[in-house]
Amino acid sequence: MEFVNKEYFLLLLLLIPYLIWYLLYRKKSEPTMRMSDTFAYQYAHKSLRVRLIGLPLLLRLLTFVLIVIVLARPQTHNSWGERTVEGIDIMLAMDVSTSMLAEDLKPNRIEAAKDVAAEFISGRPDDNIGLTIFAGEAFTQCPMTTDHTSLINLLQNVRTDIAARGLIEDGTAIGMGLANAVGRLKDSKTKSKVVILLTDGSNNMGDISPLTAANIAKSFGIRVYTIAIGSKTMAPYPMQVGGTTQYVNLRADVDVETLSEIAATAGGNFYRATNTAELKKIYEDIDKLEKTKMDVKKFSKRYDAYQPFAFAAFMSMLLEMLLRLVVFRRIP
């Protein structure tokens, strides 16, 4: 409910001086009877009439409030609209090689990447988003879907130990990861198709070179954003030695030149993230660049809703008059 003339609510301030006048002067003008002692009446039963002595005042105040609401012109409205959404198809290609355990980002590179990617997914409810993971090999962790809850659950289950346990080869097959993501997008009918590729290394595995995959993406009209994650010098890397965790310094091995060329070839941008704050900023920038197109038509119709308040004010005033003339009638 909305009010057209909200300034009329200022009239409610008049109730303050009225109540002050009533309490200070009105009661003094009422007839009184003096008695030497009221002990005999201290525990006397109070009739219903005595208990309701303040009711006319409350009804008068209620009437005034309701009249002010009527003057403020309350309105209700019905609105309906048409919402046409053209979603974007996005594939996230994430490096899960063992080097992603380096702790230059907190708690480590892979966990920081997962958390930021989850925020990105949550902020794009109308898009089809999927997930490719790669180390020495690449496979689809989740095909494109609008069920982002399931996607985020699968994202959070991503671990680097699949390479450490030998489930897939360790290494960094950037070309294979990009090609896998492109394969998921190539048959898409949407106008906007995007791959966000995140890695901390250089291509050292796989049968497809990164630039070949980038050219394939370009041929299908797929934009590729590349993110190099990790410090530019050395990073602490945990290693299990004799049942204990020892840290060694891992030298930065990211191929910035190749990642830049991939992005340039496929019409995207290259980013470098050396800490979690920078990584968040990168995803925010990509989110601004890749906006969902939306066509919204909204209609609204307003209705005056003062009638119930006017009727309630009339009934309140009528009840007050009846009480004063019949129940609380004064003798002149």
Global pTM reads 0.64
What tens-digit pLDDT sequence spans the chain (332 residues)? 788 888 888 888 888 888 888 777 765 666 666 766 666 666 666 666 667 777 888 888 899 999 999 998 888 877 666 666 667 899 999 999 989 999 999 899 999 999 999 999 999 988 899 999 999 999 999 999 989 999 999 999 998 877 767 777 889 999 999 999 999 999 888 888 999 999 998 999 989 999 999 999 999 999 999 999 998 888 999 888 878 888 998 888 899 999 999 999 999 999 999 999 999 999 999 988 877 665 556 666 777 888 888 999 899 899 888 888 877 666 55
DSSP E strand boundaries for the chain: 2-3, 74-86, 89-95, 128-134, 138-145, 193-199, 222-229, 234-241, 244-251, 270-273, 293-304
Q: What confidence score (pLDDT) does residue 243 get?
A: 80
The CATH number, out of the four listed (3.40.50.261, 3.40.50.410, 3.40.1160.10, 3.40.50.620), of the domain defined by the range 88-291: 3.40.50.410
* DSSP-derived 3-state class of residue 22: helix
Q: What confidence score (pLDDT) does residue 159 get?
A: 87
Torsion of the alpha carbons at 181, 184, 187 and 189, rounded to the nearest 10: -90
Please report, as a single letter, which amino acid is at residue 169.
E
Strands 138-145 vs 128-134: parallel, antiparallel or unpaired: antiparallel
Query: In DSSP terms, which residues pair with 273 in a beta bridge?
Result: 229
DSSP E strand boundaries for 62-127: 74-86, 89-95
Q: How many residues does the chain have?
A: 332
Q: What confidence score (pLDDT) does residue 24 get?
A: 77
Q: What confidence score (pLDDT) does residue 173 get?
A: 95
Q: What confidence score (pLDDT) does residue 59 get?
A: 87
Domain-wise residue ranges, the chain: 2-27+42-78+299-327, 88-291
* DSSP-derived 3-state class of residue 42: coil
What the block records as the tokens of 62 is: 């209620």
193 and 157 in contact (C-beta within 8 Å)?
no
List Cβ neighbours of 58 (8 Å cut-off, separation of 6 or more).
Answer: none
**Cis link prior to 107 (omega < 30° from 0)?**
yes
